Amino acid sequence: MFPPTRIRSCLPVINPMFKQRLRPHRPFRQTSTLHNKNQTKVSQLQKNKWMSFRSIITRWVPLGSAIYVGWCYIRASINYEVSKIEILFYEMFPFRVTSRIWGKIAAYELPTSLRGFVYGTYIKMFNVNLNEAAVTDLNYYKSLSAFFTRPLRDGARFISQSACVSPCDGVVLNCGPADTDKIEQVKGVTYSLEEFLGKNNWTNKKDDDYYNSLLTNKDNILHQCIIYLAPGDYHRFHSPCDWTATFRRHFCGKLLSVNPWLARLIPGLFTINERAVYVGEWKHGFFSMTAVGATNVGSIEIYNDPELRTNTKGKRTRINELNLGQVPLKKGELFGQFNMGSTIILLFEAPKDFKFDMASGDKVLMGQALSLAAKEQSR
């Protein structure tokens, strides 16, 4: 028999032997430091591929925008009410940067061999009526921007004899009397009149009530007409009546989409976006015409205001003002143009019995009469 001391001395040797037998099989592992370095380099490259500034702009922003806009479209179809947090999240997307990039792409001169294919695809996607254009040869337009802002041929639009006509082609989002400080941008969704126009410093009138400070005749009220220009519409807009522009205020806001279904989700959308407000007078008193910017609208150009520069770098809260003096504008006269679709908002003073001969959702053409009474007078 082995003495206990001898058995204890063998335990350190026997113990590992049993452990080695019971240990499960392990696959061969590469312990080379060179291999580990290569793996870390590959993982770092994969991370940098998706986390660089370029990938954020070219991958994450388009992907996130597409997912969020699609989700907004689904919610709009089921009358979902958007929370303030969701609106703030949507506003965080760099739409101004992407719009400037899109503006440069749209202004790039295309090879003649590609123009027919690119413009033809655009025509099919957005149902463009090329027969109304002054030039129907697609090779004539050097860039997408030139095609967007194509002029109409003579006789393509009839200017009504009414006092006020539609300034552009598009779809009516809302029209009717605006007899309070809160105005409907679409049914059930409002925006503030004072936030939209800004402080009333274009007149010497002193009135604590902002609404009354705009009116020349206290027996009149304000009326509004909001027209959305789709990407396939005629992108130039004209003066809707004979009026005199005296003041311009440019709000360097954001460039959120002004699509009708998105306008139903975001209250005060038109007070958030970049816009150029032109104020003056017509035969009934106060008159304003506002061009509202939107996503992928590289610029808003006003022919009588070459100093206006939109979608520029800098703080979004900037407000630029300009006294225009007395700029007379005739009905049907060219006023400006958009790159891609956007919105025109008319706010004007008129008698209480002024009624629009159109409703929300109606398609209108430039030069079409706005009111039923004016339509009867023109017969």
For the record, the structure tokens of 118 come out as 């690119």
How open is the CA angle 89-57-233, to the nearest 5 degrees?
80
pLDDT < 70 positions in the chain: 1-60, 68, 71-84, 86, 186-188, 297-298, 316, 372-379
DSSP-assigned letter for residue 369: B
Q: How far is residue 66 from each of residues 73, 97, 181, 186, 254, measured CA to CA in Å?
A: 11, 16, 35, 24, 18
pLDDT of residue 339: 79
Q: What sign has the CA pseudo-torsion 295, 74, 344, 316? A: negative
Beta bridge partners of 227: 172, 344
**Within its chain, how far is the Cα of 275 from the centroid?**
10
pLDDT of residue 298: 57
Cβ proximity of 332 and 238 under 8 Å: yes
Q: What is the pTM of this model?
A: 0.75
**In angstroms, rounded to a whole number, what is the distance separating the alpha carbons of residues 136 and 200?**
45
For the record, the structure tokens of 346 come out as 């008319």
Between β-strands 285-292 and 275-282, what pairing exists: parallel, antiparallel or unpaired? antiparallel
pLDDT of residue 75: 60
pLDDT of residue 73: 67
**In angstroms, rounded to a whole number, what is the distance separating the alpha carbons of residues 289 and 285?**
13
Instruction: Count the neighbouring beta carbons within 10 Å of the beta carbon of residue 375.
Output: 15
pLDDT per residue as tens digits for the range 108-160 = 899 999 999 999 998 998 889 999 999 999 999 999 888 988 999 988 999 99
How open is the CA angle 87-91-92, to the nearest 5 degrees?
120
- Give alpha helix (H) positions in the chain: 4-22, 33-51, 53-55, 61-77, 84-91, 95-107, 112-126, 144-148, 193-197, 210-214, 260-263, 269-272, 372-377
DSSP-assigned letter for residue 283: T
Q: What is the largest CA-CA distance in the chain?
A: 131
The catalytic residues are 169, 238, 342
pLDDT per residue as tens digits for the range 339-358 = 777 899 999 999 988 889 88
Neighbour-count burial for 202-241, b at 16+ CB within 10 Å, e otherwise: beeeeeeeeeeebbeeeebbbbbbbbbbbbbbbbbbbbbb
